[in-house]
Amino acid sequence: MGRRKTGKPRRERAAAEYSLRELRPPGYEEWITVAPGMSPDKAAADPLITPGAVGMMRRLARLRPVYGPQVPVQALWLDLAVDEGELLLRRAGGTVGLPVAELAGLLGAPAGRAEDVRAGLHELHARGVVLVEPDEERTVLRVVTARPARPGGRWLFEEEASPAG
């Protein structure tokens, strides 16, 4: 059981991968459970369900493959902010507004069609490369410079870094 077999290379253990939910980012307290069989199209046929509710269901159905069955409310904020065409980015010198495609390019998300840019931003968010927070009535992205290796660890952000000099 515990002895090493001669002539066989030792297997390396894979590093534990934690989901965004498991890492518990600061401010991420609300998560929406998205059922695997949720059907926005079926809901749209129901006259009791409002078009706004159907639209939200469509967003959640689109976000489920990226975030899993638990979608943070911040993912919805990000999705709605992408629709506006401009995102705010918190930097060390303050908060700046940038067109969605430009900001996505700065963060390393794919360029191209609007849906590719949207998907790239959500992928970065789901991996914890950027976090989302509200700032009055706008959504602000914060670039993560170090995410915790395990749940309960500290998140470090670009705007908190000390200026070089």
Residues 101-150: tens digit of each pLDDT: 999 999 988 878 889 999 999 999 999 999 999 877 789 999 999 999 99
Q: What is the pLDDT of residue 29?
A: 94
* Full residue range of the structural domain in which residue 121 is found: 20-160
Give which of 129, 128, 124 is closest to 151, Cα–Cα: 128
**Coil, helix or strand for 162?**
coil
Give which of 122, 130, 134, 128 is closest to 153, Cα–Cα: 128
Q: What Cα–Cα distance (Å) separates residue 34 from each residue in 12, 15, 60, 129, 137? A: 35, 28, 7, 23, 26
Give the pLDDT band (50/70/90) at residue 3.
Answer: low
Is residue 97 a contact partner of residue 88, using CB atoms and an 8 Å limit? Answer: yes
Give which of 113, 146, 150, 115 is closest to 15, Cα–Cα: 150
Q: What is the pLDDT of residue 38?
A: 84
Let me know if residue 9 belongs to a domain: no
Let me know if residue 6 belongs to a domain: no
Facing residues of 144 across strands? 157
Let me know if residue 14 belongs to a domain: no
Let me know if residue 5 belongs to a domain: no
- The residue with tokens 């870094």 is 161
- The residue with tokens 């509710």 is 53
Q: What is the pLDDT averaged over residues 2-21?
A: 70
DSSP class of residue 101 equals H
Let me know if residue 149 belongs to a domain: yes
141 phi, psi to nearest 5 deg: -95, 140
Q: What percent of the chain has pLDDT over 90?
A: 64
Let me know if residue 123 belongs to a domain: yes
Let me know if residue 7 belongs to a domain: no
Let me know if residue 32 belongs to a domain: yes
Domain tally, the chain: 1
Q: What Cα–Cα distance (Å) separates residue 119 from each residue in 82, 130, 140, 154, 165? A: 10, 14, 17, 27, 37
